[in-house]
Amino acid sequence: MEAKELFKDIRAQSHFPDLMTYSTLLDGLRKQGYLDQALGLFHDMQKSYLKSHDLVIYDIIIIAMCRSRKLKDALELFSELIQRVAA
């Protein structure tokens, strides 16, 4: 979880990560099987940063949910994405 600690340090220094930083961290968490941590970061992003058009982020999380057999959660998130894009 060194990447997550680095991410916290970056934010503590008042630097705000961009979409590439978020997507890289989320994808790394996903690939290592840390779905819960990825979801926690995703929900933090939704509160402060994420825009409806950040499809890369949604793609990473939806794929992670599907691979973890959380298909209902993935479908709900996909529906949320559709609503955000349509708004």
Count of Cβ atoms closer than 10 Å to residue 58 Cβ: 19
Q: How far apart are CA 12 and CA 16, in angstroms?
A: 9
pLDDT digits (tens, 9 = 90+) for 4-37: 677 677 777 877 777 888 888 889 889 998 899 8
CATH number at residue 26: 1.25.40.10
Number of domains, the chain: 1
pLDDT digits (tens, 9 = 90+) for 35-79: 998 898 888 887 776 665 588 899 999 999 999 999 999 999 999
- pTM comes to 0.78
Q: 81 or 9, which is more confident?
A: 81
Structural domain boundaries, residue 46: 2-86
